[in-house]
Amino acid sequence: MAHPICDVVIVGGGPAGSSCAGFCAASGLRTMVVEREKFPREKVCGDCLNPQCWPIIRRLQLEDRVRALPHGVLDRVEFVSLRGRKLCAELPRGGNAEIAVKRSLFDGLLLKRARELGAEVHDGATVTTLEKSGCGWKLMTREGDEIRATVLVAADGRNSTVARLMNLLPRVAKERIALQAHIPLPRQFGNRIVLEWLPGGYSGQAPTNDHELNLCLVGRPGSVGALQDWAKKQFGLPADQAWRSITPLTRTALSPAHDNLLLVGDAARVVEPFTGEGIFYAMRSGEIAAAAAAKLIREKSSCAAREYVRLHAAMYRGRLWINVLARLAVVSPQIGSAFFEIARFHPGLLRLLTRKIVS
């Protein structure tokens, strides 16, 4: 079935795609989202909303509705070394406090907001082919829909179908895997994030409401079994505990703009999940891509794509070294332990790292 020509078609309805769709539709662009899953659905994620997310949430006029979702308020990060030693770093308080909210709730709210602002959403639809068509794009879905648009936005994650179909997706070494589950919240857990180094990987823990804990495990494929055994013992989990998984955790970054194709979120760059900034990068890249799409369509500006690339790079500037450090700490527990010991005696280093992540 053929659909009318859109200004923008966005493949992927997660935080990057929904934010982009909301801002595109709010600016008057004819916007369509193509999402392969039916919401609500969970995602492998730490569920944390970095304080930097709040200005974007406010620009989408969603602050009250986000705060009304069941969530955990996080006021500190507790780092735990291989030896069991602990270090704490305070997080911002008040209106820009970090929170944790389940992705099934948060992503569903963002996609609903995109609809309210005028975006058309086709869920349960999988893109199978795409091609340049004149000055725009033609997409076909497995369900037989033909979609035409001037600007195409890839918001479909680290294993992006759009990037693959365009021969942009690099080969990746699946050297690590992330597992995630929501488990009963331990008593007296408190308003904290726990980042714990383990032999062969690390664990991230954050309360998403008053009765559930988001538990993430990250390690090499060969160490996943031992990490699961640790979690079962640590939290009293059943032998048949279900886990969601995702890989790769790192990948070569792609240029975020290719003529009338813009890449947002993990489709453009995948960062180490240790820092918990993923949703911010997704939403912010979606917002600046929406502005670029408007210029591409209305002004036919050759500068719009270059400006998007510049702003996209600026979003990560000064932060990527933290991701490199985090990855080294995970891949080599010795490096992680050495950093931890240095931070014990030089707390300013830990404050610098935390400030870079949350401000």
Characterize the bridge pairing of strands 146-154 and 6-11: parallel
Nearest partner of 81 among 196, 192, 193, judged by Cα? 196
**How would you list the strands of the sheet with 48-49, edge to edge?**
48-49, 98-100, 72-74
In order along its 359 residues, the chain shows pLDDT tens digits of 555 689 999 999 999 999 999 999 999 999 999 999 999 999 999 999 999 999 999 999 999 999 999 999 999 989 888 888 888 888 888 888 999 999 999 999 999 999 999 999 999 999 999 999 878 999 999 999 899 999 999 999 999 999 999 999 988 766 789 999 999 999 999 999 998 888 888 899 999 999 999 999 998 888 999 999 999 999 999 999 999 999 888 788 999 999 899 999 999 998 876 667 899 999 999 999 999 999 999 987 778 999 999 999 999 887 666 666 666 666 666 676 667 667 666 666 666 566 555 55
CA gap 220, 352 in Å, rounded: 29
- The C-alpha torsion from 285 through 105 and 43 to 180, rounded to 10°, is 120
Nearest partner of 159 among 49, 12, 61, judged by Cα? 12
5, 229, 262, 280 from 29: Cα distances, Å: 11, 50, 16, 23
Which helix or strand (DSSP H or E) is residue 9 part of?
A: strand 6-11
Domain range annotation of the chain: 6-47+99-171+249-320
Nearest partner of 286 among 45, 41, 113, 165, judged by Cα? 113
pTM for the full predicted model? 0.92
CA gap 283, 92 in Å, rounded: 20
Give domain 6-47+99-171+249-320's CATH architecture: 3-Layer(bba) Sandwich (3.50)
